[in-house]
Structure 1
C-alpha cells in the first residue's frame, strides 16, 4: 500500500495491461484491472449464467410440449 500511495501513476504504468493487487499488511486491499479485462470478466460470468440456464432447461426437455408456430 505504501508503494502505491507514494506514486500510484507509476505503479499503474509499470503494470501496463496486467492486473494490480494493492496489499495492506499482506492482505488484498483492492485490485485494479483494465476496462478491457473487466469487460471480459463480466462476459465470462454472463456466459456461465447462461450455461447454467441451458443445463436446467435441457434437464426439463422431456416435459416440453411441442407446438406448431403456424397455428399461433
Structure 2
C-alpha cells in the first residue's frame, strides 16, 4: 500500500520516543512526518508554520463568507460624503 507523504523529512515513532526534542531540532524548523511501521502517523509542525496554516484557514473561511454574501443587495457610497456626514453628526451631538 502506498501513502502520500506531505513533508520532506521523516522520522520513525521510535526515534521520536527516544529523543523528541532532538528529532524536532534536527528538522531545523521544517515539518516532519512521523512514521509508524513506514506509514504516516502524524506530522510535527513548527509553531510558526502552524500559525500560518491557521491564518490561511481563517482567510479561506472569510473568503467563503464573502462569496456567500455577494448575491445580496449592494449600496453605492462615496467615502467623502460619509466623512462629511460623520463630521456633521459629531457637531450636532452635545
Q: TM-score range by the shorter chain?
A: 0.7 to 0.9
Which structure 1 residue ranges, 4+ long, deviate > 4 Å from structure 2? none
- Write out per-residue CA displacement over residues 1-38 of structure 1, whole angstroms, 9 at most, x where no aligned residue: 12222222221111011011111012222211111111
Gaps of 5+ in 1: none
Gaps of 5+ in 2: 1-12, 76-81, 86-94
Give the alignment of 1:25-44 within 5 angstroms.
Answer: 25-44=37-56
Structure with max Cα Rg: 2
Give the alignment of 1:11-22 within 5 angstroms.
Answer: 11-22=23-34
Structure-1-length-normalised TM-score: 0.74
Higher helix residue share:
1
Work out which of the residue numbers 62, 77, 85 in structure 2 matches 1:50: 62
Which structure carries more relative contact order (alpha carbon 8 Å, separation 6+)?
2
Q: Check 1:56–1:8 CA distance in 2 against 1; reply closer, same or farther (3 A cut).
A: same
CA distance in 2, matches of 1:8, 1:30: 14
